[in-house]
Amino acid sequence: MPTLHELQSRFATAIIDGDAAVAAGLVAEDAPGAAARLGIYLNHFRVTLIDTLAAVFPVVQALVGDPFFQAAARRYVRETPPSQPCLFAYGDGFPAFLERLPEARALVYLADVARLEWAINEAWHVPDDAAVAEEDPRLVAGHALQPGFRLHPSCRLIASRFPAGRIWQVHQEACADREAIDLEAGEARLLVHRRQNEVGWIDLPPAEFDFLDHLTASGNLDEALTLACKGDGDFNPMPLLMTLIEGGLISSIGAAP
């Protein structure tokens, strides 16, 4: 007689592998039979996760078409079952999966668009946090440049050598109205964020993107400024910082972590 843990492991394996017969013998028979009941559960599991991916990555689905997306999502679900109970947290590995998917190799921009869509999803669902007020005394009298600036939790930085943001934008329109996108039109450096219950992004020049990238990694303003200035000796962070503060995208100021 298998233990409860063994039974649960076999059941999970059967559902993930798509083979209800593996676990059917461990389930008491009644009407309908165990295999049929497991088959219903298996189908619901797979369909629910595929639908979740489609809801998070609608532009990816539009780019590749529904049959391709369904096949890729089915493979991803089998390879990467959920590790958390919340469906909105499922799919973080999908962009990397698409990047290594042989059938999508020709669509060199696809993974970056997926990363943008995942950043939008995360920005929607991350818990909110208080923003630093514009009148905060630590921002006046020349004291704004101090360590410990922290971006709002919704902020995500997305870099792509393709115009990923524009690709996303044109796919919010009806198909007949979409403009053609020149993949050589320029790189994308985006700060995705949620503000006043809306998710959007700010297009950043290279120096500002590098500055925020360093700031996000270290949480230390002085260190981020030093590193950014190595790439652009004339870089001045104050206009960007004031834009972020005015937009409610700075959550804290204080000692460096």
Q: Are 56 and 113 in contact (CB under 8 A)?
A: no
Cα 82–Cα 43–Cα 9 angle in degrees, nearest 5: 50
Give the structural domain span for 141. Answer: 129-257
In a domain, 121, yes or no: no
**What is the spatial distance between Cα 139 and Cα 152, in angstroms, rounded to a whole number?**
17
The pLDDT assigned to 254 comes to 61
pLDDT in tens, the chain (257 residues): 667 776 677 667 766 666 666 666 666 666 566 667 777 777 788 899 999 999 999 999 999 999 999 999 999 998 998 888 888 999 999 999 999 999 999 999 999 999 999 999 999 999 887 776 665 655 554 444 555 677 899 999 999 999 999 999 999 876 656 677 888 888 999 999 998 889 999 999 999 999 999 888 877 777 888 888 887 778 888 888 888 888 888 887 664 44
In a domain, 95, yes or no: yes
Q: Are 252 and 132 in contact (CB under 8 A)?
A: yes
Tell me, yes or no, whether 103 and 167 share the same domain: no
In a domain, 133, yes or no: yes
Longest dimension (CA), the chain: 77
Tell me, yes or no, whether 54 and 14 share the same domain: yes
Tell me, yes or no, whether 99 and 196 share the same domain: no
CA nearest 77: which of 54, 98, 46, 107?
46
Q: Would you give the end-to-end CA distance of the chain in angstroms? A: 53
Tell me, yes or no, whether 34 and 152 share the same domain: no
